[in-house]
Amino acid sequence: MTASPVGAAGEEPVTLYYEGRPVLSRPGISVAASLTEAGIAALRTAAEGDRGLFCGMGVCGECSMIIDGQASQLSCMVMAAEGMQARRQPARVPVETETVPAPIPEGELSPELLVVGGGPAGLAAAFSAAHAGVSVVLVDERAKLGGQYYKQPPSFETDDRLDAQFIAGHNLIEAVKAAGVQVLSGTRIWSAEVPSADGNGEPVLEFFAAGETKRWVIRPRRLVLATGAYEKVLPFPGWTLPGVMSTGAGQSLVRAYRVAPGQRVLVAGNGPLNMQLAAELTRSGAEVVALAELASLTSPRHALRMLRMALAAPSLVRDGAGYLATLRRGRVPRLSGYTVIRAEGKERVERVTLARIGLDGAPVAGSERGFEVDAVCLGFGFLSGNEIARLLGVEHDLDAASGSYVVKTRAHGRTNVAGVWAVGDGAQVRGAKVAQRMGSLAGADVALDLGYTPDAAAIRHDEKVLARHERFQEALWQVYAGPRVGSQLAEPETLICRCESVTLATIDASLDEAGSAGAIKRLTRAGMGRCQGRFCGPTMVDRVAQATGEPVNPLSGFAPQPPFRPVPAGLIAADDPRE
Amino acid sequence: MSSVGQAMGGVGPSQDGLRPLPREADVVIIGGGITGAATAHYLAGSRLSVVLVEESDLNTKASGRNAGSLHAQLQMDPFRERGVEWGRKYIPALSFLVDSIEMWRGLSAELGAEVEVATNGGLYVADTDEQVELLKSKVEVETAAGLAAELISGDELRRLAPYLSPTVIAAQLSPNEGKTNPLLAASVYARAAARAGVPIFTYTNVRDVRRHAGAFEVVTEKGNIAAGKVVLATGALLPQLGSKLGLHLPVAEEPVQVSATEAAAKTVPHLVYYAGGRLTFKQAAAGTILIGGGWPARTDPAAGNPAVSMTSLRGNLRIASRVVPWVLKHKVIRTWAGVGCSTPDLMPYLGEASIPGLFIGMFPHMGMTGGPLMGRILAQLVRGETVERDLTPFRLDRFDLDMTQG
């Protein structure tokens, strides 16, 4: 057990138990973060070994633990509490046939506007609509508002390392609360009815929401989807070892819980979030053994792009320069054009190998470099969390470069489905600043649509700022344009489907029969587990496209079906009229 | 493509560049579900040249999307609605299923690949006296026809299945019943057929079947195949091709849905039904608990595909919890919708059509269970062999009278 270099002092400790052993933690810290701080990485047991914290945002299910006797608790989302008993979850959850769960009452809500997601886009939409007089319910799956970008520290009042990002988030959250928005935190929309229209042409919308022990049917007049994105992590040998996690998971540990992912952390991937995390880790005292960026950031054309970025969003460029300065001061080695190709270790990651990546997305022989680590954070961009939008019939395009769906946008986030707006990274991955302005505009547009009078000057201002940030994003991703890497780093024995432990060799063997990702799924079980194919789906789509020569299209992946996330049957089942 | 695939006789679209569609064959099988794939397997090894064509991937419709139940008893809904008389008339279909399950038992060995069959029996459980009475009369009809079935008491039931709710008071035990993994069998049959030399063409949509000088012309989007004989194993799509050949084969598409939980410790060996509501409840070899029972899916307005109905999902889980309350604690990971098909009398179609050389097989609702025997008999019919079973109740022209009457 090791003391964390980043823990904040001055709070009453909380004792929880891991496999019966006491672990000291603090209030407001997730179970997974508490265990990470104590040097424990193994959270669940799969067929071939233990798994650890991976996505850190409740998507992948790798952190599923048995907590106080209840299986399949996402330890990245559940907060540590005094006396809590956490155990590694076996590959098959235990069955207690004596248990007769109590019926869970179902609440009903009929706000004028339902906002799904409590990140920058959702908060801004909720605020601007509520500010104009609209009654708003905001549903957010995290325990605390803020989403990934504005996630808040355990104690805002006592934290001594607040930066501008924390403070802006705090202010937006306070404004949302003051505007009278009804917030359901720790709650997920797990299903929806297909929209229809009533006799007056008004949209008829119906959503099903579940918390841990509460549930609602929500029938709003309008909907703003601000569901955000989840991180893309590429499969490579060893990526399932405990200690290998997404950059977002690493950042949640550092920013939301003030816990370091490890003592010797390597950060790699593609995009500016990796640089920010490396800087935050360095500033908090953790050792970052290297920061590897897939893109070659040495093109002479970058100077012009940087200038364009500086003009569009000077504060973001200042942030970037600040991160770089921190990394220089901390003497963090920076590798450009490199990424992780292998992770090794016995019970958790102990070593990683990096290599230069060629234009074909494959490692360049002879370029390998090894590092001793106890944690790796990886981020290769983001994929939109769009299952609700797709189920509702919102039209999407496929962005071939990223493999991500993009909502066919109309002004102010309006979609083709009457009564439904989609904003932020859930609609198209363009970062928090674009998300927030889009959210604000969508909220005002909803208000207008419902007959309220939103602030016209605010709308003009938002439009202007949005345009600037869109220019920034465009230039940014030109700078970070790297070779397209799909499954080139995986070897035949690499697990592609983490949930069902399906290897690349098994998936490839099915390709002599399967002509679609759905057919691979049925033949191999890849994509049938807790993450519902979110992490293996893109690889399967990629392999099918390679095998058949058919280009990837918007129907190549899995069609969204309820439940959008694993939900206890007790939260789904209809009330029994006999009870 | 992968060398493994080629060695096994690849069947997928990735193989298309490697072989053209044949211009002629003795037999063309249309449909790559379990019936078509089983027929291909049982025809392979004869001297006939056989080709199987499938419009998308193998096993994508009813065969690959059901809950894997192996049924061998009268289902409660039709028994309640149509009565004892219907039950008696249905007996030939039921004994067909029993014989097909006998084939399922040996299938993994026969095909040299695991299809995850377990026949630990089916339990139709009851929690009211009214339900028990219905089960009694159902057991009478089945046992009178010589089928294995018995009514067991609540105490016996709890000894046999301690995972059931204490509120259940009796059950019909049908020892022949069981389960399989619907993801596997059609594919395993198809691979066995491919190994034995039957070329399988997926993503080959049949646009028309024409009668042409005592033979058939199978018109596909990849070219035409002149065929001596044709087997229609197209499930719910039977009426479409059937009507082009002037056949009246009423089939109602009834999309249904199934839900699966996270993998759980081995607990439920049986196939469980409930006499008080639509339910099938079983645990797959992978540990997931499959919850179904014929709850209707909706049709997606945009794509026209079956899609999950919320009303059915919520109702299905509520009904499941009456019999197995602990399931409410388990997380549902997936719910999926698939095509199901029905006939007016719930009996299968099986036989040679009024057009010589045209063979048809379709078992409504329980096509998975019936698949192996359906395939074997279709192969026998195609080869002109004697079939040791009275196929009269399944004859293809039994609804022709309805049509002429208007």
How far apart, in whole angstroms, are the C-alpha atoms of residue B293 and residue B280?
A: 4
Nearest CA in chain A to B188: A523
Across the range B96-115, mean pLDDT stands at 97
Residue of B310, B325, B333 lying closest to A100 (CB–CB): B325
8 A C-beta contact, residue A548 and residue A556: no
Q: Do B2 and A522 touch (CB under 8 A)?
A: no
**Residue B260: partners with Cβ closer than 8 Å, 6 or more residues away:** A528, B284, B288, B289, B290, B291, B332, B333, B334, B335
What's this model's pTM, rounded to 2 decimal places?
0.94
Residue of B8, B263, B300 lying closest to A92 (CB–CB): B263
Q: Which residues of A touch B10 (CB under 8 A)?
A: 512-513
Put simply, whether B144 touches A (Cβ < 8 Å) is no
Cα-flanking dihedrals φ and ψ of residue A29, to 5°? -110, 135
Q: Do B325 and A95 touch (CB under 8 A)?
A: no
Q: ipTM of the assembly?
A: 0.94
How far apart, in whole angstroms, are the C-alpha atoms of residue B170 and residue A197?
A: 47
Q: Which residues of B touch A93 (CB under 8 A)?
A: 262-265, 330
Residue of B10, B320, B331 lying closest to A567 (CB–CB): B331
Mutant choice from B309, B310, B311, B335 vs A, greatest count of A C-beta within 10 A: B310
Q: Which residues of A touch B5 (CB under 8 A)?
A: 509, 511-513
In the prediction, which pLDDT does B45 show? 86
Q: Which residues of B touch A99 (CB under 8 A)?
A: 325-326, 329
**Residue B193: partners with Cβ closer than 8 Å, 6 or more residues away:** B37, B40, B41, B43, B44, B50, B52, B200
Query: If we measure between CA atoms, which residue out of A564, A565, A524 comes closest to residue A544?
Result: A524
pLDDT surpasses 70 at B3: no
Nearest CA in chain A to B14: A548
Strands A64-67 and A396-399: unpaired
Residue of B2, B308, B327 lying closest to A508 (CB–CB): B2
How far apart, in whole angstroms, are the C-alpha atoms of residue A479 and residue A217?
A: 45
8 A C-beta contact, residue A381 and residue A429: yes
Q: Do B58 and A519 touch (CB under 8 A)?
A: yes
Q: Do A569 and B328 touch (CB under 8 A)?
A: yes
In the prediction, which pLDDT does B256 show? 96
Put simply, whether B307 touches A (Cβ < 8 Å) is yes
Min distance B312 CA to chain A CA atoms (Å): 9
Show pLDDT as tens, one digit a residue, over chain A (579 residues): 344 444 445 568 999 999 999 999 999 999 999 999 999 999 999 988 999 999 999 999 999 999 999 999 999 999 999 999 999 999 999 999 998 888 899 999 999 999 999 999 999 999 999 999 999 999 999 999 999 999 999 999 989 889 999 999 999 999 999 999 999 999 999 999 989 999 999 999 999 999 988 999 999 999 999 999 999 999 999 999 999 999 999 999 999 999 999 999 999 999 999 999 999 999 999 999 999 999 998 766 777 787 888 888 888 889 999 999 999 999 999 999 999 999 999 999 999 999 999 999 999 999 999 999 999 999 999 999 999 999 999 999 888 777 778 999 888 999 999 999 999 999 999 999 999 999 999 999 999 999 999 999 999 999 999 999 999 999 998 889 888 888 999 999 999 999 999 999 999 999 988 888 999 999 999 999 999 999 999 889 889 888 888 777 766 677 888 999 999 999 999 987 665
Q: Do A512 and B64 touch (CB under 8 A)?
A: no
How far apart, in whole angstroms, are the C-alpha atoms of residue B295 and residue A412?
A: 40
Q: Which residues of A touch B302 (CB under 8 A)?
A: 393
Residue ranges of B 184-213 with Cβ closer than 8 A to chain A: 187, 190-191, 202-203
Q: Which residues of B touch A569 (CB under 8 A)?
A: 259, 261, 291, 317, 320-321, 327-332
Residue of B2, B301, B314 lying closest to A511 (CB–CB): B2
Q: Which residues of B touch A574 (CB under 8 A)?
A: 311, 314-315, 317-318
Q: Do B64 and A522 touch (CB under 8 A)?
A: yes
How far apart, in whole angstroms, are the C-alpha atoms of residue B221 and residue B242?
A: 18
Q: What is the pLDDT of residues B205-241, one digit of tens each?
A: 999 999 978 899 999 999 999 999 999 999 999 999 9
Q: Do B335 and A563 touch (CB under 8 A)?
A: yes
Q: Do A97 and B267 touch (CB under 8 A)?
A: yes
Q: Do A519 and B301 touch (CB under 8 A)?
A: no
In the prediction, which pLDDT does B7 show? 31
Q: Do A529 and B333 touch (CB under 8 A)?
A: yes
8 A C-beta contact, residue A101 and residue B326: yes
Tell me the three state secondary structure of residue A8: coil
In the prediction, which pLDDT does B4 show? 27
In the prediction, which pLDDT does A304 show? 79
In the prediction, which pLDDT does B5 show? 32
SS (H, E, C) B140-167: HHHHHCCCCCEEEEHHHHHHHCCCCCCC
Mutant choice from B328, B336, B368 vs A, greatest count of A C-beta within 10 A: B328
Residue of B11, B165, B322 lying closest to A512 (CB–CB): B11
8 A C-beta contact, residue A511 and residue A543: yes
Min distance B379 CA to chain A CA atoms (Å): 23
How far apart, in whole angstroms, are the C-alpha atoms of residue A542 and residue A544?
A: 6
Mutant choice from A92, A213, A513 vs B, greatest count of B C-beta within 10 A: A513
Q: Which residues of B touch A47 (CB under 8 A)?
A: none
Residue ranges of B 321-360 with Cβ closer than 8 A to chain A: 321-322, 325-337
8 A C-beta contact, residue B347 and residue B250: no
* Amino acid, single-letter form, for residue B53: V
Q: Do A561 and B314 touch (CB under 8 A)?
A: no
Strands B50-53 and B24-30: parallel
Q: Which residue has the higher pLDDT, B171 or A102?
A: B171
How far apart, in whole angstroms, are the C-alpha atoms of residue A253 and residue A244?
A: 13
Mean pLDDT over all residues of chain B?
93
In the prediction, which pLDDT does A211 show? 92
Q: Do A548 and B187 touch (CB under 8 A)?
A: no
Put simply, whether B8 touches A (Cβ < 8 Å) is yes
Q: Which residues of A touch B336 (CB under 8 A)?
A: 561
Put simply, whether B255 touches A (Cβ < 8 Å) is no
In the prediction, which pLDDT does A557 show? 74
Strands A369-372 and A351-356: antiparallel
How far apart, in whole angstroms, are the C-alpha atoms of residue B330 and residue B255?
A: 25
Say which residue the tokens 């701080």 belong to.
A37
